[in-house]
Amino acid sequence: MAAEIHSRPQSSRLVLLNKIEGHSDGVNAAVLIPKEDGVITVSEDRTIRVWLKRDSGQYWPSIYHTVSSPCSCMSYHHESRRIFIGQDNGAVVEFLISEDFNKMNHVKTYPAHQNRVSDLIFSLESQWVISTGHDKSISWMSTQSGSMLGRHSFGSWASCLQYDKDTQHAFVGDHSGQITLLKLDEQTCSVITTLKGHEGSVGVLYWDPVQRWLFSGASDHSVIMWDIGGRQGRTLLLQGHHEKVQALRYLPLTRQLVSCSADGGITVWNMETTREEAPQWQDSDSCQKCEQPFFWNIKQMWDSKTLGLRQHHCRKCGKAICGKCSSKRSTYPIMGFEFQVRMCDDCYDTIKEEDRTPLATFHEGKHNIGHMDMDPSRGLMVTCGSDRVVKIWDMTQVVGSSVAAGFSPR
């Protein structure tokens, strides 16, 4: 079964290999087990399940473990087979999975948060488990002693997390749309900077430590690439979804970004091409084309005896313009606009037909996608969400299968 493409006709397709059903509530996370035909899932139904592929071709649970509170997120470390589960009650629970994936033993319970755990990462190098929660905080705990090492609070829900193991920097996205960069130490932390660019809550982050790029997806339907390593404040806006973006994965060897949204949209972005930054929107009291006043410019309205106009912005030049001077729409993929956006008449006339060539491909997962994991060495992707269904996809036609060296499991 193949997932058909709705946005535009494409030559390549995602191929649906398997569907896993059986959860009684939403599946909050699913990860592919490296070098195994297996998937680990955690669910709102309070279960942790390890699914192995049987001779029949179907996946059946070899481990079915129930915990005391709904499972909100997980971090799986394959080399040590340690798995950390974030829960709705604020706790993080650590288990050790047996070599044959048929048994799971409880190791520790960490009192990480006072409310739902939103994201977590296990760092083998630091021997830390780092987590964010709806209690508006990030905490980091020692996996050796089980004790809390530090905590930092934010102004709103901390919704997602990424961590650079080499520098011990953490990136935290929050419900207000901000991303905070922190330097974590044994007992303290320091705030380095705050990244602002989204107009909605940040739902997912992905960090590429080689290029030193941070990708963020948000409820404003957009993805932003932050060039942290460039130290020039460079950002790229990517708009190719109709719903909130909830999953991201960057593939370094093919220089592609895969993003998934709540409506099932799966977009594969070409990040190898040279892209332009979207301009900052300019402020003005009157249209920067025809000079007619905007509706709050009372003085000019009175002097010219005209009604004020509503302000818009050209997505290509950023100028403040009225509706009459921006009546046309166009895609402009080099600036990240894969869907038609408002253009002023002057900018529209400068766009050639080749400038509209898409720099992304669009695919349909046909279910709510709240979480995604990939194994590029095998060309596989797993998606899951609130519809209780887990889907395993063949991605080789879309991204290729020779990108194993660029994959680093969380």
Question: How far is residue 131 from each of residues 53, 118, 151, 242, measured CA to CA in Å?
Answer: 31, 7, 10, 29
Tell me what the pLDDT averaged over the chain comes to: 90
pLDDT(230) > 80? no
pLDDT of residue 283: 85
244-260 burial string, b = 16+ CB within 10 Å, else e?
A: bbbbbbbbbebebbbbb
Lowest-confidence pick of 111-125, 161-175, 288-302, 382-396: 288-302
pLDDT at res. 300: 67
Q: Does 387 score more than 70 pLDDT?
A: yes
Question: Which residue is it, tokens 């129930």?
Answer: 66
Give the three-class secondary structure for 286. strand
Mean pLDDT for the stretch of residues 215-240: 93
- In one-letter notation, the amino acid at residue 6 is H
The answer to whether residues 190 and 184 touch, using CB atoms and an 8 Å cutoff, is no
Nearest to 198 by CA among 214, 181, 175: 175
Give dist(CA 222, CA 116) in Å, integer: 25
The answer, yes or no, to whether residue 2 has pLDDT greater than 70, is no
Q: Which pLDDT belongs to residue 403?
A: 41
How far is 346 from 4, CA to CA, in rounded Å?
Answer: 37
Dig out the tokens for 14 from the structure.
């995602």
Mean pLDDT of 280-291: 86
Residue 297, pLDDT score: 65
β-bridge partners, 265: 364
pLDDT at 339: 94
pLDDT tens digits, 344-370? 999 999 999 999 999 999 999 999 999
pLDDT at 3 over 60: no
**408 has pLDDT over 70:** no
Closest Cα partner for 143 from 159, 158, 162, 124? Answer: 124
Closest CA relative to residue 268, chosen from 408, 396, 404, 409: 396
What does the DSSP assignment read for 199-262? SS-EEEEEEETTTTEEEEEETTSEEEEEETTTTS--EEEEE--SS-EEEEEEETTTTEEEEEET
The pLDDT value given to residue 398: 86
Give 399's pLDDT tier (boundaries 50, 70, 90).
confident
Q: Find the helix or strand (DSSP H, E) in which 347 lies.
A: helix 345-350
Tens of pLDDT, residues 69-99:
999 999 999 999 999 999 999 999 999 999 9
Q: Residue 397 and residue 308: Cα distance in Å, rounded? A: 53
- The total of other beta-carbon atoms located within 10 Å of residue 321's CB is 29
The predicted-structure confidence for 170-219, as pLDDT tens digits, reads as follows 999 999 999 999 999 988 999 999 999 999 999 999 999 999 999 999 99
pLDDT at 242 over 80: yes
pLDDT-based confidence at residue 400 (cuts at 50, 70, 90): low
Q: What is the pLDDT of residue 286?
A: 85
Number of H helices, E strands in the chain: 3, 33
pTM of the shown model: 0.89
Determine the pLDDT at residue 6.
38
pLDDT the model gives residue 310: 77
What is the structure's pLDDT at 308?
62
Residues 161/143, Cβ–Cβ less than 8 Å: no
Q: Each residue of 300-345: pLDDT tens digit?
A: 667 776 666 678 899 999 999 898 888 899 999 999 999 999 999 9
Q: Of 410, 393, 384, give the one whose Cα is nearest residue 18.
A: 393
- The pLDDT of residue 314 is 94
User: Are the C-beta atoms of residues 338 and 358 closer than 8 Å to each other?
Assistant: yes
Task: Output the pLDDT for position 192.
Answer: 95
Q: Does residue 409 carry a pLDDT above 50?
A: no
Which pLDDT score is estimated for 8? 41
The CB density around residue 237, as the number of other CB atoms within 10 Å, is 18
CA Rg value for the chain: 23
Percentage of the chain beyond pLDDT 90 is: 79
